[in-house]
Structure 1
Amino acid sequence: MTQRLSRADTIGLGLMTFAFFLGAGNIIFPPLEGQLAGSNVLYAMFGFLITAVGLPLVSIIAVARVGGGLPSMTTDLPKGTGTFAAVLLFIIIGPAFATPRTGLVAYEMAIKPLLGSYDITVSQLYLPALNITLDRTQAIMTTLFFVITLMFSWSRGKLIDNIGKILTPALFLLLICLAIGVVVAPQGEIAAPAESYREMAFTKGFIGGYNTMDTFAALMFGMLLVDVLRGKGVTEQSATYKYLVIAGFIAAAGLAFVYISLFWLGATSSTVAPDAANGGVVLAAYVQALFGQPGQWILSWVVMLACLTTAVGLVSACADYFSKLTPLSYRQWVVVLCIICAVVANVGLSQLIALSVPVLLALYPLTIALVALTFIRPWLPNPKYAFRTVMFVALIFSLLDGIRGIEALHSVSWIKSILDSQTEYMPLANQGMAWVLPTAIIMVLVFLIPASKKAPSKEAYSS
């Protein structure tokens, strides 16, 4: 059996990998980051590219190395860690953040700009029992969005998969046209950076890249790419590794192009979208200014369908996974997930992003540490204790970073005291990256842990 792919198949695998990552949700973060960074846009963009492009690429390579995804990557951690990590990641990319975000992005970028053009007033709905005020139009549209998502997910998204083969190229083509327009006819001058981006543009961009959640996604569907290769006759570990690396670099190149152009768009958007609440507002306003109403209609349709494709894919994947762990069937999970997503979506896009920040600050460092350990494992004298020590240290400091991201907890005296001490003595603590130095130090020191006769063999990742 041949272990080689044709050039067309190799490029196709790379474009498929790019399509997995690129969703409408990914394009809402760079514009706002670019606007806030202003004249420091290059520093913020470089930090963003590390976590939004580099980390997903490295994660795919890590999955290719171990040949088994999270279960294989967590073999040196306590039993059940792999399942717990998988459940947690599915919740994050499913009903907690990523999937509700697709409905909100569809509303902010596809529906709301068109409603505004017809001068339709957005009404507010106050719910006394919950003491909250909802955007009535948003509630109706996001609920309808997830009803449609439920209908397509009911049959595991077979129809929407075919539409997705057209939508991703269409979205990418639109972004290419937008990138050309930004370079040829920028809609404003680059402004001064926002206060928080004057001294910390790189770290703000680095943490901003967490919002794409693509590193989590890479760990989830990395094995799907392995299965695709097996279906094409590539079964040897070395050949699988080779083609996944190539596919990863093709996807990374496409993502880098998209993010760089959108960062530059954001940096020149202060005139057309001043004080925007989120990147969706920035992008919609820029397209309106650059291409007029026809451009907005095209953007609306492509974004709406791309969001629907992403939502169906995420709901289907989560329902399939959870149905294997619980007594509920696939279709029951589809209903439960769509209801939860419709409810969570009405938090609002800006609020949902703000709520996700502490969670991402707490979990991304653990993912980065796990991927790094996967690469250095063959040289560790005692992988079991090395993994557990490094992950424990990363967990402690990443939790502190996550707590720092929750403003409400700053009023608690003992928490404030801990955070103040951390800021005083820990480098990068006030930038949400206190985990970096201690984790790096421990990752070096674990090479000094003596080998154990009962330690797992270094060939445990081979497959």
Structure 2
Amino acid sequence: MNKIKETFIIGFALFSMFFGAGNLILPPSLGKNAGDTWFLVTIGFFLTAIIIPFLGILAHAKLQGSMYDFGKKVSPIFSYFYCVIVYLIAVVLPAPRTASVTHEMAVAPYFEIDSIITSLTYFSLVFIFALNRSKVLELLGKFLTPLIILILLTIIFIGILNPPEYMLDSKLATPFVNGILEGYQTFDAIGAIIVGGVLVISINFKKKASFKSKQLIIIKAGFIAGVGLLIIYAGLIFNGALFNSTFKEEATRSEILSSLSMQTLGNIGTSLLGILVALACFTTAVGIITGTADYFKSLFKNSSKAYFITALIGSILGVVMGQLDVQKIIVFATPTLRLIYPITIMLIILNVLPTKNISSMNFKIVTIITFIFSLPDFLQFFNKNILTSITNIIPFANNHLGWVLPAFISLALVSIYEYLQHKKRLT
């Protein structure tokens, strides 16, 4: 196969594993609320939904292992617990959300079918794809992703060329911060360390190449996926802003996306959107279930039985949790993301930085500090008044970003300390 063609197929496959339910329904809703500040929102959204995930893929290119390798420098025990928690979150929240969105937008409008039937059919197909994982990259990259991108670009460009007469002003007090926090809900940073592992293993299945050549393929694929996400996200946010005067005030995220497709593509738009939603959600669910099964397979000495059982359990959990509506799943996800997302972001950054400059001590201290300063956000979701005396004095804490400065300051201080110690030993 031509090398350029192969790289694009892998890049498209990676894009499709990233691009799921949240990636579709979040940007237009964000644009609706952002109005004339859509550009600031977009930059914030890019940070957590594109740049950090791309760094996650770069880290995978450097490590070429599994998610376990991301946290092992903190400690092996921490890494095991971290991996189990992240995979559990992925299987219980974003994977079922793909089935919920598919039912709400691609099935319910056309057929009187109970959501349990949709989930059973949906995750049966996901399970079949997961068992045929050696063909996943080719099937996703060659066939499904180009169709997803084509439909999305059609909606975006028609919307830009035929906008309504006016745009409503922004409803957001801090649009940049809102963009950052909404980017959490895409699960893309967590997705990067899950589907990046799928990418590494799938490339190993397909070809026996040198570490360097595989590294180059992964980086190029990550870049292709990142550019694709950037164009689609920016287009959907901008369209949401352009059309915000046409949406109902209380419209849900799914209803905003449906309205946008109807206004740009007419009646045929609803049908095309249904196909788009089903494809985008399905590819992400396959990536999550496959990645989770890969990890538990590695825990049990590459046991095929462990892979099969994990994929089966993940699919069953998807059916059960898929009975919840999308909004409920998003609400359930929020406190968990406030705790696990900052740790994931810092682990990605630590693994991308040059190995000679980042020691095990840096991993330990930065992770502990990030956890401590993320804890108030997690607890305040359940009780807004808890720890307020502390969060009021922490920069950006009132914007749910109190962990940022402490994490990066601790990273800088430990790096300086270790540099001085190294210099002292040489003299």
> Does TM-score exceed 0.5, indicating one fold?
yes
- Residue 328 of structure 2 is matched in structure 1 by 351
Distance in 2, Cα, partners of 1:388 & 1:269: 47
Aligned counterpart for 1:247 among listed residues 221, 225, 229: 221
Distance in 2, Cα, partners of 1:423 & 1:71: 32
Distance in 2, Cα, partners of 1:425 & 1:216: 29
- Residue 17 of structure 1 is matched in structure 2 by 14
Judging changes above 3 Å, is the alpha-carbon distance between structure 1 residues 422 and 157 closer, same or farther for their aligned structure 2 residues? same
Q: Does 1:32 align with 2:29?
A: yes
Aligned 8 A contact 2:41 2:176 in 1: yes
Judging changes above 3 Å, is the alpha-carbon distance between structure 1 residues 68 and 137 closer, same or farther for their aligned structure 2 residues? closer
Judging changes above 3 Å, is the alpha-carbon distance between structure 1 residues 272 and 232 closer, same or farther for their aligned structure 2 residues? same
| Gapped regions of structure 2 (runs ≥ 5) | 422-427
Q: Does 1:378 align with 2:378?
A: no
Quote the offset at 1:321 in angstroms. 3.5
Quote the offset at 1:401 in angstroms. 1.7
Q: Which amino acid aligns with 2:362?
A: A
Quote the offset at 1:220 in angstroms. 2.2
Show CA shifts across 1:105-141 (max 9, x none).
10222123436xxxx7xxxxxxxxxxxxxxx944554
- Residue 297 of structure 1 is matched in structure 2 by 271
- Residue 407 of structure 2 is matched in structure 1 by 439
- Residue 461 of structure 1 is matched in structure 2 by none
Distance in 2, Cα, partners of 1:36 & 1:372: 30
Q: How does 1:378-397 map to 2 (within 5 A)?
A: 378-380=355-357, 383-397=359-373
Q: Which amino acid aligns with 2:9?
A: G
Q: Which amino acid aligns with 2:329?
A: L
Distance in 1, Cα, partners of 2:355 & 2:137: 39
Distance in 1, Cα, partners of 2:203 & 2:404: 35
- Residue 97 of structure 2 is matched in structure 1 by 101
Aligned counterpart for 1:428 among listed residues 393, 396, 400: 396
Stretch deviating more after TM superposition (200-209 or 11-20): 11-20
Q: How does 1:271-310 map to 2 (within 5 A)?
A: 271-310=245-284
Could you say what the CA RMSD is over the residues aligned between the two structures, in angstroms?
3.0
Aligned 8 A contact 1:153 1:315 in 2: no
- Residue 112 of structure 1 is matched in structure 2 by 108
Distance in 2, Cα, partners of 1:66 & 1:40: 39
Judging changes above 3 Å, is the alpha-carbon distance between structure 1 residues 277 and 156 closer, same or farther for their aligned structure 2 residues? farther
Aligned 8 A contact 2:336 2:378 in 1: yes
- Residue 60 of structure 1 is matched in structure 2 by 57
Q: Which amino acid aligns with 1:447?
A: S
Q: Which has the higher helix share?
A: 2
Show CA shifts across 1:310-365 (max 9, x none).
33443344345435647975444444333322222222101111211111111111
Quote the offset at 1:437 in angstroms. 0.9
- Residue 84 of structure 1 is matched in structure 2 by 81
Quote the offset at 1:217 in angstroms. 1.9
- Residue 43 of structure 1 is matched in structure 2 by 40
Quote the offset at 1:160 in angstroms. 7.6
Stretch deviating more after TM superposition (157-166 or 185-194): 157-166
Judging changes above 3 Å, is the alpha-carbon distance between structure 1 residues 15 and 159 closer, same or farther for their aligned structure 2 residues? closer
Show CA shifts across 1:393-432 (max 9, x none).
001111222222x2x323xxxxx241x1133201111110
Q: How does 1:188-203 map to 2 (within 5 A)?
A: 189-194=166-171, 197-198=172-173, 200-203=174-177
Distance in 2, Cα, partners of 1:137 & 1:277: 23
The structure number with the bigger radius of gyration is: 1
Judging changes above 3 Å, is the alpha-carbon distance between structure 1 residues 315 and 353 closer, same or farther for their aligned structure 2 residues? same
What is the aligned length? 416
Q: Which amino acid aligns with 1:46?
A: I
Quote the offset at 1:270 in angstroms. 2.7
